[in-house]
Structure 1
Amino acid sequence: MRTILLLALLLAGCSAAEPVRRGGIVSLNPCADQLLLALVPPERIAAISHYSQDPRASSIPLDVARRFRTTAGTAEEVIALAPDLVVATSFTPPATRAAFARAGLKTLYLGSPTTVAASKQQIGEVAGAVGASRRGRALNRAIDTAVADTRSPDRPVPTLLFIGGDLANGAGTLLDEMMAHVGLRDAAADYGVTMTGRLPVETIVARPPALILSPDGGGRTAAMRRRLLAATGATTRDVPFARELINCGGPTIPAALRRLAAIRRGV
């Protein structure tokens, strides 16, 4: 019986194994994943990052992400795929970079844009690297249109945007710029958060903001925050803001701007 069971497990493992595909583009970052999906046909993408199959980190629909092979970003597994291009981040460890260089892989290391202008520049850079300049220009035009459509002359509304739990978005970020553009003032600095940082509900109870945006409407931290603020009689509005609009810029910018603008109009 043990022999039959072991044989069955071995056969199951063999049938589930994915064939190794060589060539194509390998992405090691969830924001690069969604950008590549907007720029090139799916068949050109050999693998995406495992983060895109995590709903807390992904900016693409999970059913789409699950159609692709993923990697954990190790040099060994990426080199084994022999990709035509590796799109990684500027935070890639030096040892991994050196391994890619020794293997002769073409690489593109991306930073994390903190402005709309920088995000557009990055779109152009990636589009040029993958031979999709026309699509890159079209995407940047869509961003320009969204920027023009969502500019608000109204008085800014003090707003806290929680990335998750009690982690609040602060100044100097892409989300901060987009909030200001549509008439929402990022209030994190009012509570001593100079960049993105932790902001427990006890800190904001004494001086609640007009608006709170949260991606985890059903999460325990957000639920506790709502209960405590309600108990104080605060008139703070708690509005959902989809997680997939938080994690990345690039192709997400038009949808994020329009959602933020709609929230501002509803205040």
Structure 2
Amino acid sequence: MFERAMLLLALLLAGCTADQPVRRGGIVSLNPCADQLLLALVPPERIAAISHYSQDSRATSIPLDVARRFRTTAGTAEEVIALSPDLVVATSFTPPATRAAFARAGLNTLYLGSPTTVAASKEQIAEVADALKERWRGQVLNARIDAALAETKSVDAPVSALLFIGGDLANGGGTLLDEMMTHTGLRDAAADYGIAMTGRLPVETIVAHPPALILSPDQGGRTAAIRRRLLGAETRDVPFARDLINCGGPTIPAALRRLAEIRRGAGA
């Protein structure tokens, strides 16, 4: 019964995406951060499917036109097992039932955490590169991160800044973004308002003591517009692209350079 169900699902998947036929083997990724790691570390032909999140502009860390070249899954155990992948790259948040299904099917799986430091992100790159048998590519990517760190290290006095992940959700201390902000000369002002990691920070809370800069991916959004109107010239509002927010890994060099550019624009 189980084998018949898997065969039926495979046929249905093939019928729904005729331009992307079901293929056996390869690597399946179930997370947008793992998606971008795969694209950085292996040739495209080794990727059997990526997560559907990477085809959503709000969640992706890779260009949408690139993401749309690949088959996607919703991450269900049935879909993944039907593809018979050589390796599944998932997250540490994968539900126990899904993990158990992968184990019963005998799938080779790699569960990744969410690194909160540059060092941890580099370790994860090396781990994934080893699992993919692409150690050299992992070393090249980590060398790019080291070069960006050296290039963007600030020795100037830090400038206070809030980085909004979206809406009124602010990034706080203990995160990868916080470390990169500090490295490039931006003092994460979230701690001034009692925010650690991430938390809601309405404009009413910051209007009496605003930071010098606000970084946001939602320049055209209603919340960002309200902040600009209420804070006025006291705080400079600058764009920070959403695809630099969602993940670390291959995103780190570009995120560091953008943060350094923002710090330079803030002056002495």
Q: RMSD over aligned Cα, in angstroms?
A: 1.1
Partner of 2:150: 148
Shift in CA distance, 176/15, structure 1 to aligned 2, threshold 3 Å: closer
Structure-1 separation of matches of 2:60 and 2:17:
24
Structure-1 separation of matches of 2:26 and 2:85:
5
**How many residue pairs were aligned?**
252
Shift in CA distance, 212/102, structure 1 to aligned 2, threshold 3 Å: same
Q: For 2:35, which of 22, 33, 36 is the aligned residue?
A: 33
Matches within 5 A, 1:84-163: 84-163=86-165
Structure-2 separation of matches of 1:57 and 1:194:
22
Structure-2 separation of matches of 1:192 and 1:179:
18
Matches within 5 A, 1:75-90: 75-90=77-92
Q: Write out per-residue CA displacement over residues 176-207 of structure 1, whole angstroms, 9 at most, x where no aligned residue.
A: 00000010010001011122000001111111
* Matching of residue 178 in structure 1 with residue 180 in structure 2: yes
Q: For 1:218, which of 206, 217, 220 is the aligned residue?
A: 220
Matches within 5 A, 1:41-80: 41-80=43-82
Partner of 1:250: 249
Between 1:234-243 and 1:111-120, the stretch displaced more is 234-243
Q: Which runs of 4+ in 1 moved over 3 A?
A: 13-18
Shift in CA distance, 15/57, structure 1 to aligned 2, threshold 3 Å: closer
Partner of 1:188: 190
Partner of 2:236: 237
Structure-1 separation of matches of 2:140 and 2:129:
11
Deviation at 1:150, TM superposition (A): 0.6
Q: Write out per-residue CA displacement over residues 55-87 of structure 1, whole angstroms, 9 at most, x where no aligned residue.
A: 111000000000000001000000000000000
SS in 1 for 2:173: coil
Structure-2 separation of matches of 1:221 and 1:102:
47
Q: In the alignment, residue 242 of structure 1 is paired with which amino acid? A: A
Q: In the alignment, residue 255 of structure 2 is paired with which amino acid? A: A
Structure-1 separation of matches of 2:197 and 2:114:
15
Structure-2 separation of matches of 1:172 and 1:197:
12
Deviation at 1:20, TM superposition (A): 1.5
Q: Gaps (5+ residues) in structure 2?
A: 1-13
* Matching of residue 262 in structure 1 with residue 261 in structure 2: yes
Shift in CA distance, 74/14, structure 1 to aligned 2, threshold 3 Å: closer
Structure-1 separation of matches of 2:101 and 2:123:
28
Deviation at 1:19, TM superposition (A): 2.3
Q: Write out per-residue CA displacement over residues 244-265 of structure 1, whole angstroms, 9 at most, x where no aligned residue.
A: 0000000000000011001001
Structure-2 separation of matches of 1:100 and 1:135:
28
Structure-2 separation of matches of 1:173 and 1:14:
42
Q: What TM-score do you get using the length of structure 1 for normalisation?
A: 0.92
Q: In the alignment, residue 145 of structure 2 is paired with which amino acid? A: I
Structure-1 separation of matches of 2:38 and 2:163:
27
Q: Write out per-residue CA displacement over residues 75-116 of structure 1, whole angstroms, 9 at most, x where no aligned residue.
A: 000000000000000000111000000000000000000000
Structure-2 separation of matches of 1:207 and 1:251:
35
Q: Write out per-residue CA displacement over residues 144-194 of structure 1, whole angstroms, 9 at most, x where no aligned residue.
A: 000011111111111000000000000000000000001001000101112
Q: Gaps (5+ residues) in structure 1?
A: 1-12
Q: For 2:200, which of 198, 201, 212 is the aligned residue?
A: 198
Shift in CA distance, 193/86, structure 1 to aligned 2, threshold 3 Å: same
Structure-2 separation of matches of 1:260 and 1:16:
40
Q: In the alignment, residue 253 of structure 2 is paired with which amino acid? A: P
Deviation at 1:14, TM superposition (A): 4.7
Between 1:139-148 and 1:187-196, the stretch displaced more is 187-196
